[in-house]
Amino acid sequence: MKISDLTYEHFSHKCKYEGIKIELAQSVISLHSQYPDLLESVFSLYSDYSVSEAIADFKVELTPPLSIRRYIKKQVCFKCNSKEPFMPLPRAQAFPLLEWGLNWTATNHINTHLLIHSAVLEKSGNVLIMPGTPGSGKSTLCAALTYRRGYNLFSDELAFVGAEGDLVYPNARPVSLKNRSIDIIKEFAPDIVHSNVIHDTIKGSVAHFKPPANSVKNIKPARPKAIIFPKYQADLPTKQLKLMQKEKADTLLELSKHCFNFSVLHYHGFEILGKLINNSNCYSLEYGGDLATALKAIDEIME
Amino acid sequence: MQDSKPLLTLNKVHPDIGETFFQYSDGLVIYHRTSKTMLRLENLLSEIFTFCLDHPQGLSDADIIKLKCGESTSKNNIADINQALSGLKSKNIIVNENIRPDI
Protein backbone atom coordinates (compact mmCIF):
# COMPACT_ATOMS: atom_id res chain seq x y z
CA MET A 1 0.00 0.00 0.00
CA LYS A 2 1.26 3.45 -0.92
CA ILE A 3 0.81 6.63 1.07
CA SER A 4 -1.39 7.97 -1.73
CA ASP A 5 -3.79 5.07 -1.05
CA LEU A 6 -4.55 6.58 2.36
CA THR A 7 -6.82 9.55 2.92
CA TYR A 8 -5.03 12.55 4.38
CA GLU A 9 -7.14 12.18 7.55
CA HIS A 10 -6.06 8.56 8.01
CA PHE A 11 -2.43 9.42 7.26
CA SER A 12 -2.28 12.33 9.70
CA HIS A 13 -4.12 10.33 12.38
CA LYS A 14 -1.48 7.59 12.13
CA CYS A 15 1.36 10.12 12.28
CA LYS A 16 -0.10 11.78 15.35
CA TYR A 17 -1.03 8.74 17.40
CA GLU A 18 0.95 5.67 16.37
CA GLY A 19 3.50 6.74 13.75
CA ILE A 20 3.47 5.85 10.07
CA LYS A 21 6.10 3.48 8.74
CA ILE A 22 7.49 4.66 5.42
CA GLU A 23 9.62 2.34 3.33
CA LEU A 24 12.64 4.18 1.97
CA ALA A 25 14.93 2.23 -0.36
CA GLN A 26 17.58 1.51 2.29
CA SER A 27 15.60 1.68 5.54
CA VAL A 28 12.15 1.91 7.11
CA ILE A 29 11.31 4.95 9.20
CA SER A 30 8.46 5.38 11.63
CA LEU A 31 7.40 9.03 11.45
CA HIS A 32 5.70 10.72 14.40
CA SER A 33 4.50 14.31 14.34
CA GLN A 34 1.48 16.50 14.87
CA TYR A 35 2.44 19.48 12.73
CA PRO A 36 -0.20 19.86 9.96
CA ASP A 37 2.10 21.73 7.53
CA LEU A 38 4.80 19.08 7.91
CA LEU A 39 2.32 16.25 7.43
CA GLU A 40 0.84 17.91 4.35
CA SER A 41 4.31 18.17 2.78
CA VAL A 42 5.13 14.54 3.62
CA PHE A 43 1.72 13.40 2.31
CA SER A 44 2.34 15.27 -0.93
CA LEU A 45 6.04 14.58 -1.58
CA TYR A 46 6.14 11.01 -0.28
CA SER A 47 2.83 9.91 -1.85
CA ASP A 48 4.51 7.23 -4.02
CA TYR A 49 6.32 5.56 -1.12
CA SER A 50 5.02 2.34 0.39
CA VAL A 51 3.58 2.13 3.87
CA SER A 52 5.57 -0.62 5.55
CA GLU A 53 4.46 -3.32 7.97
CA ALA A 54 8.05 -4.20 8.86
CA ILE A 55 9.79 -3.22 12.07
CA ALA A 56 11.09 0.32 11.63
CA ASP A 57 14.84 0.88 11.57
CA PHE A 58 14.46 4.41 12.88
CA LYS A 59 11.81 6.16 14.96
CA VAL A 60 11.75 9.74 13.72
CA GLU A 61 9.90 12.43 15.68
CA LEU A 62 9.36 16.12 15.06
CA THR A 63 8.08 17.66 18.25
CA PRO A 64 8.01 20.95 20.13
CA PRO A 65 10.88 21.51 22.60
CA LEU A 66 10.33 21.13 26.35
CA SER A 67 10.88 24.82 26.95
CA ILE A 68 9.09 28.12 26.60
CA ARG A 69 9.95 27.96 22.88
CA ARG A 70 7.04 25.57 22.41
CA TYR A 71 4.79 28.61 23.02
CA ILE A 72 6.77 31.75 22.18
CA LYS A 73 8.90 32.12 19.05
CA LYS A 74 8.10 28.50 18.45
CA GLN A 75 10.73 25.92 17.60
CA VAL A 76 10.76 22.32 16.44
CA CYS A 77 13.04 19.43 17.48
CA PHE A 78 14.18 16.42 15.43
CA LYS A 79 14.63 13.11 17.24
CA CYS A 80 15.94 9.83 15.87
CA ASN A 81 15.47 6.82 18.13
CA SER A 82 14.94 9.33 20.98
CA LYS A 83 18.30 11.04 20.34
CA GLU A 84 18.28 14.73 19.46
CA PRO A 85 21.29 15.39 17.22
CA PHE A 86 20.50 19.03 16.36
CA MET A 87 19.58 22.19 18.20
CA PRO A 88 15.89 23.08 17.71
CA LEU A 89 15.07 25.17 14.62
CA PRO A 90 12.33 27.74 14.02
CA ARG A 91 8.96 26.03 13.79
CA ALA A 92 8.47 26.97 10.11
CA GLN A 93 11.49 24.84 9.19
CA ALA A 94 9.91 21.53 10.24
CA PHE A 95 9.95 19.92 6.78
CA PRO A 96 13.56 20.89 5.87
CA LEU A 97 14.54 19.71 9.36
CA LEU A 98 12.92 16.33 8.67
CA GLU A 99 14.86 16.01 5.39
CA TRP A 100 18.18 17.05 6.95
CA GLY A 101 17.46 14.73 9.85
CA LEU A 102 16.85 11.80 7.50
CA ASN A 103 20.18 12.52 5.81
CA TRP A 104 21.87 12.56 9.20
CA THR A 105 20.12 9.32 10.15
CA ALA A 106 21.44 7.54 7.05
CA THR A 107 24.98 8.88 7.25
CA ASN A 108 25.35 8.09 10.94
CA HIS A 109 23.80 4.63 11.02
CA ILE A 110 24.10 2.86 7.67
CA ASN A 111 27.51 1.26 7.23
CA THR A 112 26.57 -1.62 4.97
CA HIS A 113 27.49 0.62 2.03
CA LEU A 114 30.09 3.28 1.39
CA LEU A 115 28.16 6.57 1.56
CA ILE A 116 29.35 9.43 -0.64
CA HIS A 117 27.97 12.96 -0.53
CA SER A 118 26.80 13.27 -4.11
CA ALA A 119 23.89 13.39 -6.49
CA VAL A 120 23.26 10.02 -8.16
CA LEU A 121 21.28 9.31 -11.31
CA GLU A 122 20.73 6.28 -13.49
CA LYS A 123 20.10 5.94 -17.20
CA SER A 124 19.87 2.68 -19.17
CA GLY A 125 21.44 0.71 -16.34
CA ASN A 126 24.39 3.09 -15.95
CA VAL A 127 24.95 5.27 -12.91
CA LEU A 128 26.24 8.81 -12.86
CA ILE A 129 27.74 10.07 -9.59
CA MET A 130 28.11 13.83 -9.11
CA PRO A 131 29.94 14.71 -5.90
CA GLY A 132 30.17 18.33 -5.00
CA THR A 133 30.52 20.83 -2.25
CA PRO A 134 27.53 23.06 -1.42
CA GLY A 135 27.06 25.64 -4.17
CA SER A 136 28.65 23.46 -6.86
CA GLY A 137 25.30 23.10 -8.61
CA LYS A 138 25.03 19.33 -8.27
CA SER A 139 21.43 19.40 -7.01
CA THR A 140 20.39 21.79 -9.79
CA LEU A 141 21.93 19.52 -12.44
CA CYS A 142 20.43 16.50 -10.68
CA ALA A 143 16.94 18.03 -10.74
CA ALA A 144 17.26 19.06 -14.38
CA LEU A 145 18.45 15.61 -15.44
CA THR A 146 15.65 13.98 -13.43
CA TYR A 147 12.75 16.16 -14.49
CA ARG A 148 13.70 16.96 -18.07
CA ARG A 149 16.12 14.33 -19.34
CA GLY A 150 14.41 11.15 -18.11
CA TYR A 151 17.16 10.02 -15.76
CA ASN A 152 16.13 7.92 -12.77
CA LEU A 153 16.77 9.74 -9.54
CA PHE A 154 18.86 7.58 -7.18
CA SER A 155 19.50 10.44 -4.76
CA ASP A 156 20.30 14.13 -4.76
CA GLU A 157 22.44 13.77 -1.67
CA LEU A 158 23.89 10.30 -1.04
CA ALA A 159 25.49 7.57 -3.13
CA PHE A 160 25.15 4.12 -1.58
CA VAL A 161 28.04 2.10 -3.04
CA GLY A 162 27.95 -1.67 -2.52
CA ALA A 163 30.71 -3.73 -0.93
CA GLU A 164 32.35 -4.67 -4.24
CA GLY A 165 32.35 -1.14 -5.64
CA ASP A 166 30.56 -2.39 -8.74
CA LEU A 167 26.97 -1.48 -7.83
CA VAL A 168 25.32 1.71 -6.66
CA TYR A 169 22.01 1.46 -4.79
CA PRO A 170 19.07 3.86 -5.13
CA ASN A 171 17.71 5.92 -2.28
CA ALA A 172 15.38 8.43 -3.93
CA ARG A 173 13.93 11.14 -1.71
CA PRO A 174 12.70 14.67 -2.44
CA VAL A 175 15.28 16.85 -4.22
CA SER A 176 16.47 19.73 -2.07
CA LEU A 177 17.06 22.99 -3.89
CA LYS A 178 18.30 26.28 -2.54
CA ASN A 179 18.02 29.95 -3.38
CA ARG A 180 18.28 30.72 -7.13
CA SER A 181 18.08 27.03 -8.07
CA ILE A 182 14.47 26.91 -6.90
CA ASP A 183 13.28 29.35 -9.56
CA ILE A 184 15.58 27.88 -12.21
CA ILE A 185 14.05 24.43 -11.78
CA LYS A 186 10.51 25.80 -11.42
CA GLU A 187 11.00 27.46 -14.78
CA PHE A 188 12.71 24.40 -16.25
CA ALA A 189 10.07 21.96 -14.99
CA PRO A 190 6.96 23.95 -14.01
CA ASP A 191 4.73 20.91 -13.51
CA ILE A 192 6.75 19.30 -10.70
CA VAL A 193 5.15 19.21 -7.24
CA HIS A 194 7.25 20.91 -4.59
CA SER A 195 7.04 22.02 -0.98
CA ASN A 196 6.58 25.61 0.14
CA VAL A 197 9.74 27.68 -0.07
CA ILE A 198 11.10 28.10 3.45
CA HIS A 199 13.19 31.25 3.88
CA ASP A 200 15.95 32.17 6.33
CA THR A 201 17.23 28.66 7.00
CA ILE A 202 20.94 28.07 7.60
CA LYS A 203 21.16 27.26 3.89
CA GLY A 204 19.10 30.27 2.76
CA SER A 205 15.76 29.66 1.05
CA VAL A 206 14.98 25.98 0.63
CA ALA A 207 12.35 23.97 -1.26
CA HIS A 208 11.96 20.24 -1.87
CA PHE A 209 10.78 18.74 -5.14
CA LYS A 210 8.85 15.49 -5.40
CA PRO A 211 10.82 12.53 -6.79
CA PRO A 212 9.29 10.88 -9.88
CA ALA A 213 7.16 7.80 -9.13
CA ASN A 214 9.44 5.62 -11.30
CA SER A 215 12.46 6.57 -9.23
CA VAL A 216 10.68 5.63 -6.01
CA LYS A 217 9.46 2.33 -7.46
CA ASN A 218 12.81 1.40 -8.98
CA ILE A 219 14.95 -0.05 -6.22
CA LYS A 220 17.39 -2.06 -8.33
CA PRO A 221 21.06 -1.23 -8.06
CA ALA A 222 23.02 -0.36 -11.22
CA ARG A 223 26.62 -0.21 -12.39
CA PRO A 224 28.66 2.98 -12.07
CA LYS A 225 29.67 4.54 -15.37
CA ALA A 226 30.82 8.08 -14.68
CA ILE A 227 31.89 10.32 -11.84
CA ILE A 228 31.57 14.01 -12.66
CA PHE A 229 32.65 16.78 -10.29
CA PRO A 230 30.41 19.69 -11.34
CA LYS A 231 31.20 23.29 -10.58
CA TYR A 232 28.90 26.16 -11.38
CA GLN A 233 31.09 29.15 -12.34
CA ALA A 234 29.24 32.45 -12.28
CA ASP A 235 32.10 34.20 -14.10
CA LEU A 236 32.03 31.84 -17.10
CA PRO A 237 30.10 33.04 -20.16
CA THR A 238 26.62 31.50 -19.96
CA LYS A 239 27.03 28.88 -22.66
CA GLN A 240 30.65 28.07 -21.99
CA LEU A 241 31.70 24.75 -20.60
CA LYS A 242 34.98 23.24 -19.38
CA LEU A 243 34.79 19.46 -19.44
CA MET A 244 38.00 17.65 -18.58
CA GLN A 245 38.89 14.04 -17.94
CA LYS A 246 40.19 13.63 -14.40
CA GLU A 247 43.13 11.44 -13.48
CA LYS A 248 42.04 8.52 -11.33
CA ALA A 249 44.51 8.75 -8.44
CA ASP A 250 43.45 12.37 -8.07
CA THR A 251 39.80 11.36 -8.18
CA LEU A 252 40.28 8.68 -5.54
CA LEU A 253 41.83 11.12 -3.10
CA GLU A 254 39.28 13.83 -3.83
CA LEU A 255 36.28 11.50 -3.63
CA SER A 256 37.41 10.16 -0.26
CA LYS A 257 36.83 13.66 1.14
CA HIS A 258 33.16 13.36 0.17
CA CYS A 259 32.65 10.03 1.97
CA PHE A 260 30.67 10.00 5.20
CA ASN A 261 31.73 6.64 6.60
CA PHE A 262 35.20 6.15 5.15
CA SER A 263 36.78 6.16 8.59
CA VAL A 264 34.22 3.65 9.86
CA LEU A 265 34.71 1.23 6.98
CA HIS A 266 38.45 1.81 7.23
CA TYR A 267 40.50 -0.34 4.82
CA HIS A 268 37.32 -1.88 3.38
CA GLY A 269 36.12 1.62 2.44
CA PHE A 270 39.40 2.23 0.62
CA GLU A 271 38.91 -0.96 -1.41
CA ILE A 272 35.30 -0.05 -2.30
CA LEU A 273 36.34 3.43 -3.34
CA GLY A 274 39.25 2.19 -5.47
CA LYS A 275 37.04 -0.36 -7.23
CA LEU A 276 34.39 2.30 -7.84
CA ILE A 277 37.00 4.51 -9.50
CA ASN A 278 38.27 1.54 -11.56
CA ASN A 279 34.73 1.01 -12.83
CA SER A 280 34.09 4.67 -13.72
CA ASN A 281 35.21 7.36 -16.11
CA CYS A 282 36.05 10.51 -14.20
CA TYR A 283 35.54 14.13 -15.22
CA SER A 284 35.40 17.66 -13.93
CA LEU A 285 32.75 19.93 -15.39
CA GLU A 286 32.71 23.69 -15.00
CA TYR A 287 29.66 25.33 -16.46
CA GLY A 288 28.20 28.82 -16.81
CA GLY A 289 24.54 29.64 -16.31
CA ASP A 290 23.16 27.64 -19.22
CA LEU A 291 21.80 24.35 -17.94
CA ALA A 292 21.02 22.98 -21.41
CA THR A 293 24.70 23.15 -22.41
CA ALA A 294 25.76 21.27 -19.27
CA LEU A 295 23.02 18.66 -19.71
CA LYS A 296 24.05 18.02 -23.31
CA ALA A 297 27.65 17.36 -22.23
CA ILE A 298 26.48 14.97 -19.50
CA ASP A 299 24.18 13.17 -21.94
CA GLU A 300 27.14 12.56 -24.26
CA ILE A 301 29.19 11.07 -21.41
CA MET A 302 26.33 8.78 -20.40
CA GLU A 303 25.53 7.55 -23.92
CA MET B 1 83.53 -10.61 13.17
CA GLN B 2 83.16 -7.18 11.69
CA ASP B 3 80.07 -5.57 13.15
CA SER B 4 80.45 -2.05 11.90
CA LYS B 5 78.81 -2.57 8.52
CA PRO B 6 75.57 -4.41 7.73
CA LEU B 7 75.99 -7.35 5.44
CA LEU B 8 72.41 -7.36 4.33
CA THR B 9 69.77 -4.66 4.10
CA LEU B 10 66.12 -5.62 3.95
CA ASN B 11 63.51 -3.22 2.69
CA LYS B 12 59.99 -4.59 3.00
CA VAL B 13 56.55 -3.10 2.62
CA HIS B 14 55.37 -2.19 6.09
CA PRO B 15 52.61 -4.48 7.47
CA ASP B 16 50.48 -1.35 8.04
CA ILE B 17 50.12 -1.04 4.29
CA GLY B 18 47.19 -3.13 3.09
CA GLU B 19 47.47 -5.71 0.39
CA THR B 20 45.32 -3.72 -2.01
CA PHE B 21 46.60 -0.65 -3.77
CA PHE B 22 45.39 1.12 -6.87
CA GLN B 23 47.75 2.06 -9.66
CA TYR B 24 46.70 4.66 -12.20
CA SER B 25 48.46 6.68 -14.86
CA ASP B 26 48.83 9.59 -12.45
CA GLY B 27 50.18 7.59 -9.53
CA LEU B 28 49.63 4.81 -7.08
CA VAL B 29 47.35 5.09 -4.05
CA ILE B 30 47.93 3.01 -0.93
CA TYR B 31 46.19 2.84 2.43
CA HIS B 32 47.99 3.11 5.74
CA ARG B 33 46.03 1.09 8.28
CA THR B 34 47.29 2.64 11.52
CA SER B 35 46.95 6.27 10.56
CA LYS B 36 43.83 5.47 8.44
CA THR B 37 45.10 7.68 5.67
CA MET B 38 45.63 7.26 1.99
CA LEU B 39 48.98 8.04 0.44
CA ARG B 40 49.68 8.77 -3.15
CA LEU B 41 53.02 7.76 -4.60
CA GLU B 42 54.21 9.05 -7.92
CA ASN B 43 57.02 8.26 -10.31
CA LEU B 44 60.10 6.89 -8.56
CA LEU B 45 58.34 6.39 -5.23
CA SER B 46 55.66 4.22 -6.79
CA GLU B 47 58.33 2.28 -8.70
CA ILE B 48 60.27 1.52 -5.53
CA PHE B 49 57.08 0.61 -3.68
CA THR B 50 56.06 -1.95 -6.29
CA PHE B 51 59.64 -3.27 -6.45
CA CYS B 52 59.53 -3.86 -2.69
CA LEU B 53 56.12 -5.46 -3.02
CA ASP B 54 57.50 -7.89 -5.60
CA HIS B 55 60.13 -8.95 -3.07
CA PRO B 56 58.07 -9.95 0.01
CA GLN B 57 61.11 -11.43 1.75
CA GLY B 58 62.83 -8.09 1.55
CA LEU B 59 65.54 -6.79 -0.70
CA SER B 60 69.03 -8.10 -0.59
CA ASP B 61 72.03 -5.92 -1.34
CA ALA B 62 71.91 -7.35 -4.83
CA ASP B 63 68.24 -6.36 -5.23
CA ILE B 64 68.96 -2.84 -4.08
CA ILE B 65 71.82 -2.60 -6.52
CA LYS B 66 69.47 -3.87 -9.21
CA LEU B 67 66.90 -1.28 -8.16
CA LYS B 68 69.55 1.39 -8.30
CA CYS B 69 71.13 0.32 -11.54
CA GLY B 70 68.71 -2.14 -13.08
CA GLU B 71 66.29 -2.02 -15.95
CA SER B 72 63.35 -0.23 -14.38
CA THR B 73 65.15 2.69 -12.86
CA SER B 74 68.23 2.99 -14.97
CA LYS B 75 67.57 6.62 -15.68
CA ASN B 76 67.55 7.56 -12.02
CA ASN B 77 70.68 8.18 -10.10
CA ILE B 78 71.56 6.56 -6.83
CA ALA B 79 71.08 9.70 -4.77
CA ASP B 80 67.47 9.95 -5.96
CA ILE B 81 66.81 6.35 -5.01
CA ASN B 82 68.39 6.72 -1.58
CA GLN B 83 66.27 9.79 -0.98
CA ALA B 84 63.13 7.96 -2.12
CA LEU B 85 63.94 4.97 0.10
CA SER B 86 64.40 7.14 3.16
CA GLY B 87 61.19 9.02 2.26
CA LEU B 88 59.25 5.76 2.14
CA LYS B 89 60.82 4.67 5.44
CA SER B 90 59.96 7.93 7.15
CA LYS B 91 56.33 7.55 6.11
CA ASN B 92 56.23 3.96 7.43
CA ILE B 93 55.58 2.64 3.94
CA ILE B 94 58.57 0.33 3.94
CA VAL B 95 60.63 -1.05 6.80
CA ASN B 96 64.34 -1.44 6.89
CA GLU B 97 66.22 -4.14 8.80
CA ASN B 98 69.93 -4.45 8.99
CA ILE B 99 70.95 -8.04 9.51
CA ARG B 100 74.40 -9.02 10.57
CA PRO B 101 74.69 -12.79 10.40
CA ASP B 102 76.41 -14.08 13.51
CA ILE B 103 78.93 -16.27 11.74
pLDDT, position A289: 78
What one-letter code names the amino acid at A221? P
Return the closest-CA partner of residue A56 out of A103, A8, A19, A16.
A19
pLDDT, position B7: 58
Q: How many CB atoms lie within 10 A of CB A161?
A: 28
Residue A250's closest chain B neighbor by CA? B26
Using 70 as the pLDDT threshold, list the residues of chain A that sit under it: none
- Determine which of B19, B23, B26 to mutate to test the interface with A (most A C-beta atoms within 10 Å): B26
The C-alpha atoms of residue A154 and residue A158 are separated, in whole angstroms, by: 8
Question: 0.80 exceeded by the pTM?
Answer: yes
Mean pLDDT across B46-69: 83
The total number of residues written for chain A in this structure: 303
> What are the C-alpha distances in Å from B64 to residues B61, B70, B82, B89?
5, 9, 10, 15
Local confidence band at B1 (pLDDT 50, 70, 90 cut-offs)? very low
B42 phi/psi in degrees, rounded to 5:
-120, 160
Q: What is the pLDDT of residues A239-249, one digit of tens each?
A: 889 999 999 99
Contact B33, B16 (CB under 8 A): yes
Candidates B26, B31, B40; nearest CB to A270: B31
pLDDT, position B57: 83
pLDDT higher than 90, residue B67: no
Report how many Cβ contacts below 8 Å link chain A to chain B.
43
The C-alpha atoms of residue B70 and residue B76 are separated, in whole angstroms, by: 10
**8 Å CB contact of B28 and A278:** no
> What are the C-alpha distances in Å from A219 to residues A36, A156, A166, A250?
30, 15, 16, 31
pLDDT, position A157: 94
Mean pLDDT across B36-58: 89
Q: What is the pLDDT of residues A202-215, one digit of tens each?
A: 999 999 999 999 99
Residue B27's closest chain A neighbor by CA? A249
Identify the H or E element spanning A176.
strand A175-178
Task: From chain B, pick out residues whose CB is under 8 angstroms from the CB of A274.
Answer: 20, 22, 29
pLDDT, position B3: 45
pLDDT, position B20: 87
**8 Å CB contact of B38 and A248:** no
Using CB atoms within 10 Å of the CB of residue A109, give its burial: 0 to 12 exposed, 13 to 18 middle, 19+ buried: middle
Cα-only R_g, chain A = 19
pLDDT, position A275: 96
Residue ranges per domain, chain A?
3-109, 114-302
Local confidence band at B103 (pLDDT 50, 70, 90 cut-offs)? very low
pLDDT higher than 80, residue B28: yes
pLDDT, position B66: 77
pLDDT, position A83: 94
Residue A277's closest chain B neighbor by CA? B22
pLDDT, position B2: 42
User: What is the ipTM metric for this complex?
Assistant: 0.80
Q: By percentage, how much of chain B surpasses pLDDT 70?
A: 79
